Amino acid sequence: MAVVRATSSDIDLMARLLRAEAEGEGRRGMLLVGNVGINRLRANCSDFKGLRTIPQMIYQEHAFEAVTHGYFYQRARETEKTLARRNINGERFWPAKFSLWYF
Q: What are the boundaries of each domain within the chain?
A: 8-88
Q: What percent of the chain has pLDDT over 90?
A: 94
Is cis: bond before 55, omega within 30 of 0? no
Q: What is the CA radius of gyration of the chain?
A: 12
pLDDT tens-place string over residues 9-42: 999 999 999 999 999 999 999 999 999 999 999 9
- The pTM (predicted TM-score) of the whole model is 0.93
Query: Looking at domain 8-88, what is its CATH homologous superfamily?
Result: Cell wall hydrolase SleB, domain 1 (1.10.10.2520)
What is the CB neighbour count within 10 angstroms for residue 20?
22
